[in-house]
A = this chain, B = another copy of it.
């Protein structure tokens, strides 16, 4: 495969080939002809660059042909350079290292929810153990006593450009896993009878997750590369291939002469009681807020996911040790079995959510919007795998106040907009927050994101108001609008204050005010019509850095229509202060809006 493709990682595959054979053809209980069967054991290839191994295993299982394999890395093939969900038997998109174990924990948590008894196997490389996200998963796997997780470390000693941190020191690695509360087993990763034994032991549960540390040789079986640096990610040349294959046949005559034709999988027993929820048509009861009531949107988020949990059995909440700030604690109180405390380990939280989603759950993930940056790579890979995570980032913007810049989410709109297939909401009151959580539940095509505010803001919508994806709301409009002000979240309220300031002047100025609750997708048609009805002048204002935010997206959307677009956004390095002081400091408060409007009509 790699020789035909002219690229790929054959030496990485060779170190894990024996392990992979034992996982697929001895250890796992699964029905390969019914991939989604809820009792099937699961396999996740965390070391995604060994993708050919995964494809080869499914070929041996009988579901692919040799011709399929030779499409590896081609533009129209599902057999990509690293696994994606375009390959129907990939359990996760991998290739950014150190994520597979977290995804496996999510699948194991799913098993617990569904009373299923499947095992989740995760194959890791040793170099990826450097990633902190792996140790997050190790900590959390031990915390939840996920005894049906079986991690396997292909300890082949060599990374891409340098030996891995632990080298072949499997004793130290064992001590690390044991000290974190795992059962650690070691094995010669090329001794098939020993591998069979250790995988049998691993299925005997003892209340802890299990790791099998397999000492292996990178490039095993091919003397010219085995255990040598300099051969990572290098395909063998066509001229060398027959020679190499012949060498393997001579070295492993039994493997060369046997095949899997007579093999029958061990089918799993049936235990799963799969939860169901038709998310596309899920309907929550109407919210019960009163206009003018002061409710932080983060509180409304907590109330909304709790209500969603009432009507959707598959809804699960994950929070990174800030549940009393994001108000995910409301969900926990109502649905304790479906709430997962993820501690301060955002990367693993997103990974677990990917795993839960892959097995049919509706993950509602929350933390401070600033700290979602910690899991940016996991979110990126969630999007590559088209995982349907529902994500909430609270404490957005400078308006959080005294805690200061480390706690302020000011780049989350840019980050979440960049995810392919994502939608991005930024509500300004409790009703819209509640209703948008319902839209997120129904959105099953990718990651959905809702940005919430720390401060209490007044309820401005009636409880029966609807908030379609890709819509916006005209809150102030008249015959004589001079500028259309587009805002969302906290700045929407500043824009409404600016409306009042401007309207009561001696020479009143009237502005149109739009609540841009849906930033992606964008309601270009309404924005354009409103801009044209406001002297073709638009002012955006947002509690977010300028880059990748509302101003840029609105500018790009309207720029070819003769509209003047000015934008107020956070251009300063923020600091501690009161919310009001900081809105003024960043130039995004009511006074700044009024001044900008006055400038625009001068």
Chain A stretch 356-408: residues in CB contact (< 8 A) with chain B: 370-371, 373-374, 376-377, 380-381, 383-384, 386, 401-407
User: In the complex, are the beta carbons of A80 and B576 less than 8 A apart?
Assistant: yes
Contacts of A433 in B (CB 8 A): none
Contacts of A98 in B (CB 8 A): 344
Contacts of A180 in B (CB 8 A): 176
Chain A stretch 583-600: residues in CB contact (< 8 A) with chain B: 585
Q: How close is A419's CB to chain B, nearest CB, in angstroms? A: 8
Closest B residue to A418 by CB, please name it: B411
Closest B residue to A540 by CB, please name it: B556
**A564 interface residue (CB < 8 Å to B):** yes
Q: Which of A96, A97, A329, A371 has the most CB of B within 10 A?
A: A96
**A302 interface residue (CB < 8 Å to B):** no
**A575 interface residue (CB < 8 Å to B):** yes
Closest 8 CB pairs of A and B: A132-B132, A95-B406, A548-B548, A75-B577, A559-B559, A135-B135, A175-B179, A555-B556
Question: Please, how many residues of chain A have a CB less than 8 angstroms from a CB on the other chain?
Answer: 111
User: In the complex, are the beta carbons of B383 and A377 less than 8 A apart?
Assistant: no
**A148 interface residue (CB < 8 Å to B):** no
In the docked arrangement, what's the CA distance between A77 and B578, Å?
12
User: In the complex, are the beta carbons of B407 and A82 less than 8 A apart?
Assistant: yes
In the docked arrangement, what's the CA distance between A559 and B581, Å?
31
**A246 interface residue (CB < 8 Å to B):** no
In the docked arrangement, what's the CA distance between A344 and B128, Å?
6
Q: How close is A181's CB to chain B, nearest CB, in angstroms? A: 7
Q: How close is A45's CB to chain B, nearest CB, in angstroms? A: 12
Q: How close is A400's CB to chain B, nearest CB, in angstroms? A: 9
User: In the complex, are the beta carbons of B384 and A406 less than 8 A apart?
Assistant: yes
Task: Name which of A105-113, A257-265, A275-283, A319-327 contacts chain B.
Answer: A319-327
Q: List 12 A-B contacts (CB under 8 A).
A: A7-B402, A74-B576, A95-B403, A130-B343, A131-B132, A132-B134, A132-B348, A414-B547, A418-B547, A421-B573, A548-B552, A555-B559
**A32 interface residue (CB < 8 Å to B):** no
In the docked arrangement, what's the CA distance between A130 and B319, Å?
13
In the docked arrangement, what's the CA distance between A406 and B577, Å?
40
**A410 interface residue (CB < 8 Å to B):** yes
Closest B residue to A166 by CB, please name it: B139
**A165 interface residue (CB < 8 Å to B):** yes
